[in-house]
Amino acid sequence: MKIKAEAKILVEESAGSDGMISRERVAAVCDYVDQKESPRRKTALLRAYAKLLALELKKQEALVECSGEIGGATFESIKEFIKKAAPEAPAKLKFAKKVNGKLLGGIRIRYGDNIWERTVRTTLDALR
Amino acid sequence: MNEILNQISERISKIESENRKSNVGTIIALADGVARLSGLSEAMYNEMISFDDGVFGIALNLGEEEVGCVLLGDTSSVREGQEGRTTGKLLSVPVGKELLGRVVDVLGRPLDGKGEIKAKEFFPVEKIAPGILPRKSVNQPLQTGILEVDAMIPIGRGQRELIIGDRSTGKTSIALDTIINQARINKEGIESGAKDFRPVYSVYVAIGQKNANLARTIQLLEKHDAMQYTVIVAASASENAANLYIAPYSGCAIGEWFMQNGMDALIVYDDLSKHAAAYRQVSLLLKRPSGREAYPGDVFYLHSRLLERSARMNEENGGGSLTALPIIETQQGDVSAYIPTNVISITDGQIFLDTDLFNQGIRPAISVGISVSRVGSAAQIKAFKQVGGTLKGEYAQYKELAAFAQFGSDLDARTKATIEKGDRLVEVLKQKNNSPKPVQMEVAILWTLQNGFLNDIEVKKIADAVKSFEEYAKAHGQEVLGRILSEKVISDGIAAQLKSLCEAWKKTFI
């Protein structure tokens, strides 16, 4: 089997039934590769696995940036918004909050490769 | 006051709704105007990707993990690690009459310092060519003003005629003469106020040319008052390969606007050899597999999809047309190389320029034998067919006999006559740079030749005789020239008038 295809399978195996990647499963996958593969192939496979895993991990967490602190109710409504906007997201999606003064006002949500943004900064940039 | 505030808030809300969601990627590698981005999982093929500082790119390679993107414009501010965002838009350029008289870059931004272009419309750079049904066969001439072309290789509106030849054989001159001639015809037509007059607007796409050459071209067009009907799309040799690759498509979009709006346009691609080389560079940087001469496999499609966009539309679709004059530079006259054969097979004919003819002083150095217009006489006015219908055959016969006569053997009277007429024909067809002739004058000159009025003039004096005839006809033959132009056929009356004009001129020419 080609390294890329095998790495894909390993990434799938690293995720549990809830779609979340766990530390234990990743360790088990690494052990499996260590035992089964030849030293030369092992390195290439682990590199490809790490690359794909990094992309997958991006989809396990959503980052919510705001120019100030976000209240609990607002944060909950943001969570609901992301679940609707990205139905492919795992059910146990992690959410992180970050205060970013550079936004000047408004909110920016990042999930995977997607960004939802409504900030004063982008509006000013667009006007410029 | 309220109106002004509403206007601003409308603009802000429009921007806000535009930038609500975007798909992003990070530049992981950047070289020679090509960026590889990780992410951009939702990017579409040919979609515009925006970077910081107003730099745009086009997504050309959609991989599973990364996207290959060619960058346009000045890319010096782009760095590794920067983000690129999808825009949901295809690359578009401003189009419309506002661009006439302007020099723009591949994104339609002005380069001439004449201020902002206030275009009302934008057209996508890549567009599917019109299908079969909205088209019409080519039947209206596009006068180049070059006697040899108009008489023997006529070009019609909506045709694709390739200009091919080695370096410095006069390829660009033929294209520029055609643009200058269109400007002259436009000016005369608009001044005459004729209702059925259809001006031809020109688009000149400079691909990979030196800025000095481009400046010379602009000066030339300005000198002949042709810039007011012309748009120049410039992607000079100093720009990155991606700009050179996009330039003809941008120019085509600008020309297509005229066609789609029922007008006639002419587009010159100068030249497609450099365009193919630029595409090869982009493809190699994108790590696409290479084929013959290291060109990618889709290099035929590169030019076919561009040239298919030139068409003549039928009346239900506005009746507009886009005539293309692509230029190809050959190496050592080799027309069987990869790119020349591709473009020859796509176009509706070719004008082949020969280095040997050029060096012999025969200019334009058109090799009539292998030049052809597949539209043929459908794109000629009847008067031209009357005086020039047999010209190509006569010329070919002359060439054959002239080669034979070089052996110095005795020739019969008929062969001698053919050679003598041929010698005169070659002299008549010689034409100076940037001096296109009106169609009525071309017809009159050929009529003079065909009816033996130049037979008793020495071959070396033919050029002077033609010049003298032109001056005489301009001064004393305006009526008959006007009749040729309006009636488009040489009737007995016109023939009689031409005869008396020629007889009168002969008395003045010593």
Output DSSP code: residue A60.
T
Q: Is B12 on the interface with A (CB under 8 A)?
A: yes
Residues of A in contact with B40 (CB under 8 A): 113
Q: Nearest C-alpha of chain B: how many angstroms from A105?
A: 13
Q: In this complex, do A126 and B20 lie within 8 Å of one another by their Cβ atoms?
A: no
The pLDDT score that the predictor gives to residue B13 is: 60
Tokens of A10: 């390993």
The pLDDT score that the predictor gives to residue A92 is: 82
The pLDDT score that the predictor gives to residue B343 is: 97
The pLDDT score that the predictor gives to residue B227 is: 97
In sequence order, the 6+-apart residues with CB closer than 8 A to the CB of B83 are B24, B25, B26, B27, B51, B52
Could you tell me which chain B residue has the CA closest to the CA of A53?
A: B65
A:B CB pairs within 8 Å: 44
Domain boundary among A24, A39, A58: A58
Q: pLDDT tens, B343-396?
A: 999 999 999 999 999 999 999 999 998 999 998 778 899 999 999 888 988 898
The range of the structural domain enclosing residue A46 comes to 3-58
Residue A123 is nearest to which of B16, B25, B85, comparing CB atoms? B16
Domain boundary among A20, A40, A58: A58
The pLDDT score that the predictor gives to residue B151 is: 93
Class of domain B94-352: alpha beta
**How many domains are there within chain A?**
2
Could you tell me which chain B residue has the CA closest to the CA of A107?
A: B20
In sequence order, the 6+-apart residues with CB closer than 8 A to the CB of B17 are none
Indicate whether A63 pLDDT > 70. yes
Assign 3-class secondary structure to B236-253.
ECCCCHHHHHHHHHHHHH
Indicate whether A123 pLDDT > 60. yes
The pLDDT score that the predictor gives to residue B408 is: 65
A73 confidence band (pLDDT: 50, 70, 90): confident
In sequence order, the 6+-apart residues with CB closer than 8 A to the CB of B424 are B449, B454, B455, B457, B459, B462
Q: pLDDT tens, A92-101?
A: 888 888 888 8
Q: Is B84 on the interface with A (CB under 8 A)?
A: no
Q: Is B171 on the interface with A (CB under 8 A)?
A: no
For the CA atoms of B281, B282, B288, B294, the dihedral, rounded to the nearest 10 degrees, stands at -20
Domain coordinates in residue numbering, chain B: 2-89, 94-352, 386-508
Q: Average pLDDT over chain A, rounded to whole?
A: 86
Q: In this complex, do B20 and A85 lie within 8 Å of one another by their Cβ atoms?
A: no
The pLDDT score that the predictor gives to residue B14 is: 60
Domain co-membership, A39 together with A70: no
Domain co-membership, A110 together with A53: no
Cβ pair B419, B405 in contact under 8 A: yes
The pLDDT score that the predictor gives to residue A113 is: 87
Q: In this complex, do B41 and A126 lie within 8 Å of one another by their Cβ atoms?
A: no
Q: pLDDT tens, B201-213?
A: 999 999 999 999 9
Q: pLDDT tens, A27-42?
A: 999 999 988 888 888 8
Q: Is B38 on the interface with A (CB under 8 A)?
A: yes
B2-89 topology per CATH: Elongation Factor Tu (Ef-tu); domain 3 (2.40.30)
Q: In this complex, do B65 and A127 lie within 8 Å of one another by their Cβ atoms?
A: no
Q: List, for chain B, all residue ranges whose pLDDT scores fall below the cut of 70.
A: 1-2, 5, 8-20, 408-409, 510
Residue A127 is nearest to which of B15, B38, B41, comparing CB atoms? B15
Domain co-membership, A46 together with A83: no
| CATH annotation of B386-508 | 1.20.150.20
The pLDDT score that the predictor gives to residue A20 is: 85
Domain co-membership, A34 together with A54: yes
**How far does chain B reach from its first CA to its final CA, in angstroms?**
80
